[in-house]
Amino acid sequence: MLGTGNDIVALAAIDVERSRQPKFYSKILCSSEQRIGTEFECQLPVENFVWLAWSVKESVYKFLQKFMPELVFSPTRIIIAKLEPGLGFEGTVAYKGIAQYYNYTLYFRTIIDKGYIFSVVNFSDDFTGTHWGIKQIESSGHAYQSYAVREFLLTDLHKLLPGNNFTIDKSQHGWPMIMNNDKEIPLPVSLAHHDRYIAYSFQLK
Amino acid sequence: MTREEIINELKNVVAPYTNNKEMLAGLNDQTDLIADLKINSANLVDIIIDAEAKYNIEIDYDSADKMINVGSCVDVIYDKVNKK
């Protein structure tokens, strides 16, 4: 199953104190995930674990929604089953793991930077065909975020696959579709924005 | 508490999380929290927590899943408030 899902959380926009409160994080984390958070508390502050989990769950939802258009985002039903440190780069911290939604198993990669937490999910643990980009923007207005993330994706897509005439359209269910000469192509794509950060992911075969 | 009263108070609950003041002023049952009010999904839990505090209720997982648009939020809150 070819797909992709990503999410980004801008750390400047989260309420750290609220994120640490059990009343808040219990709406996002089930009890087994809270135990994983406790295991990682030496390296991962509570608020970062909570938002890491959120970004993974949102990514899983975006991935699965394309196969189940009526799917409702329910954070506690998407469960992080495994979390382990991964390879970071340029000073970032990275994690990898497994998330489950009933019978579906998805694999994730998460990057934690000083400004954001970014996750991307895939049906396979092989991310060699997964491309993603993260960028800081100058305005957090919704219209600008939406414009900027589309421009960012199209610029990078044209660099990677030159000679095409890509545009982005929206499906009847609201998710983005890549068009080439006004015809949809089978290139799964996911867009995310939060505050002054934007991100995309797409999956090549 | 009537549905109208709940909708009017709900405006104050969601106001800190949206910049779309025009849509907020005309809030109705069909208003979608994400698509219309442009509320970031990361703030949905904040809205649930704020609604719990505002109405002195507990919103369980199943009820939270239904809170997609204003109408479904009002349904959940109305049900919980009037069951107290």
Three state DSSP letters for chain A? CCCCEEEEEEHHHCCHHHHCCHHHHCCCCCHHHHHHHHHCCCCCCHHHHHHHHHHHHHHHHHHHHCCCCCCCCCHHHEEEEEEEECCCCCCCEEEEEEEEECCEEEEEEEEECCCEEEEEEECCCCCCCEEEEEEECCCCCHHHHHHHHHHHHHHHHHHHCCCCCEEEEECCCCCEEEEECCEECCCCEEEEEECCEEEEEEECC
B26: part of which helix (H) or strand (E)? none
With 90 as the cut, is the pLDDT of residue B1 above it?
no
Residue B42: pLDDT band (50, 70, 90) is confident
Minimum distance, in Å, between the CA of residue B1 and any CA atom of chain A: 25
CATH number of B3-83: 1.10.1200.10
Can you give the pLDDT at residue A87? 75
* Contact criterion met (CB < 8 Å) for B42 and A72: no
Backbone angles phi, psi at A198, to 5 degrees: -130, 155
* Nearest-Cα residue of chain B relative to residue A72: B65
Domain ranges of chain B: 3-83
With 80 as the cut, is the pLDDT of residue B79 above it?
yes
With 80 as the cut, is the pLDDT of residue A92 above it?
no
* Nearest-Cα residue of chain B relative to residue A77: B61
Domain ranges of chain A: 5-135, 136-203
Q: Name chain A contacts of B73, Cβ cutoff 8 Å.
A: none
| Residue with the larger pLDDT of the pair B79 and A88 | B79
Q: What mean pLDDT do residues A136-155 have?
A: 96
Contact A195, A140 (CB under 8 A): yes
Backbone angles phi, psi at A187, to 5 degrees: -125, 95
- Cα(B49)–Cα(A117) distance, rounded to whole angstroms? 23
Percent of the residues in chain A that have a pLDDT greater than 90, as a whole number: 93
- Cα(A106)–Cα(A94) distance, rounded to whole angstroms? 17
Express each pLDDT in A1-59 by its tens digit: 899 999 999 999 999 999 999 999 999 999 999 999 999 999 999 999 999 999 999 99
* Contact criterion met (CB < 8 Å) for A13 and B42: yes
The residue among B78, B12, B3 whose CA lies nearest residue B50 is B12
Percent of the residues in chain A that have a pLDDT greater than 70, as a whole number: 98
* Contact criterion met (CB < 8 Å) for A18 and B41: no
Residue B29's contacts (CB-CB under 8 Å, 6 or more residues apart) are B7, B69, B70, B71, B74
Residue A86: pLDDT band (50, 70, 90) is confident
Contact A53, A33 (CB under 8 A): yes
Given CB atoms, is A170 within the 8 Å cutoff of chain B? no
Residue B41: pLDDT band (50, 70, 90) is confident
With 80 as the cut, is the pLDDT of residue B84 above it?
no
CATH topology of domain A5-135: Ribosomal Protein L22; Chain A (3.90.470)
Express each pLDDT in B15-33 by its tens digit: 999 989 999 999 999 999 9
Can you give the pLDDT at residue A117? 97
Q: Which of A54, A72, A142 sits opposite B42 (nearest CB)?
A: A54
Mutation target to probe the B interface, by most B beta carbons within 10 A, among A62, A77, A101, A142 is A142
Can you give the pLDDT at residue B26? 92
For residue B29, the 8-state DSSP code is T
Given CB atoms, is B32 within the 8 Å cutoff of chain A? no
Residue B68: pLDDT band (50, 70, 90) is confident
